[in-house]
Amino acid sequence: MNEKIFDELQKLYDNNKIGALVQEICEYYATRDSYEDGSYEDEIEPPEIVESAYILFCLQSRERILDEFALVGKKYPQLYSCVSALHSTLLVNMDYRALEEKSALAIAEHAGGIGADEILSQVDTFSRSSENLSEALDKFYKWLHTKS
């Protein structure tokens, strides 16, 4: 990972205007390419699940998340270059239901035995019952592991 992105990540974590979920997303996208040997794959979910889960949880508070990504774009340009595609996806898909369904189906394909409707239901439940979206995402992963 280049030094500028690392510096911006440090500053991002000190910025109280950026929520934990956007911070986590920025770190994921900024660091995933720095693992040349694929060693990180033992520690995290497959990219198809992670990236689809990020979309699903971002859609739970779409306007706030879009504002946070816009702030990342203004204050942390190197870091933003890593997440700009995700930000664009969230921004241009005004029909969020289609994006939500596509993301839930992607997770269902990789999780096996879980339907997209059940995934969407759990995302909604965890989002409503958690203090923040990052905590909700953690609960979702725990639930997903009990199902696979």
138 pLDDT higher than 60: yes
Q: What are 85-101's pLDDT values in tens digits?
A: 999 999 998 888 999 99
Instruction: Measure the CA angle with vertex 41, ends 40 and 45; round to 5°.
Output: 120
Q: Rounded to whole angstroms, how far apart are CA atoms 11 and 32?
A: 19
Average pLDDT rounded to a whole number, residues 120-143: 97
Average pLDDT rounded to a whole number, residues 37-47: 62
Q: Rounded to whole angstroms, how far apart are CA atoms 72 and 49?
A: 24
Q: Which class for 128: exposed (0-12), middle (13-18), buried (19 or more C-beta within 10 A)?
A: exposed
Q: Rounded to whole angstroms, how far apart are CA atoms 69 and 19?
A: 10
